[in-house]
């Protein structure tokens, strides 16, 4: 009887560990890389009261706008596209904020 209880407790412990690992893995956003037309949400798209970089990409025949979250990488890059659209490649994590695709970039550069 003791042995059966120990086995059941051990199996239950392993299941809890597996479940915790799955939940933690699901919570971590996946990093993606996109390439598209980088432009200013205020100057080019006329969608905002303040400047913000947007990368437009074609996905499944539709134009998708990725609004760059405000961080050092996006601030430094914005001067490249404020008044002129340029091709860019951005790497970061995507989240939906206020109904918009928001990309928190870790790296962004112009396509040469």
Cα angle 47, 104, 18 (rounded to 5 degrees) comes to 135
Q: Residue 106 and residue 90: Cα distance in Å, rounded?
A: 8
Per the DSSP assignment, residues forming a β-bridge with 63 are 58
Reported pTM: 0.74
* Tens-place pLDDT, residues 43-56: 999 999 999 999 99
Q: Is residue 11's pLDDT more than 90?
A: no
* Tens-place pLDDT, residues 62-93: 999 999 999 999 999 999 999 899 999 999 99
Question: What pLDDT, on the 0 to 100 scale, is given for residue 3?
Answer: 74
């Amino acid at each position: 009887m003791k042995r059966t209880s120990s086995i059941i407790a051990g199996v239950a412990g392993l299941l809890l560990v597996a479940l915790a690992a799955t939940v933690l893995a699901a919570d971590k956003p996946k990093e993606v890389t996109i390439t598209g037309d980088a432009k200013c949400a205020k100057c080019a798209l006329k969608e905002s009261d303040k400047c913000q970089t947007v990368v437009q990409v074609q996905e499944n025949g539709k134009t998708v706008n990725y609004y760059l979250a405000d961080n050092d990488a996006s601030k430094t890059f914005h001067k490249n596209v404020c008044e002129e659209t340029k091709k860019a490649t951005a790497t970061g994590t995507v989240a939906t904020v206020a109904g918009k695709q928001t990309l928190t970039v870790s790296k962004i550069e112009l396509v040469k």
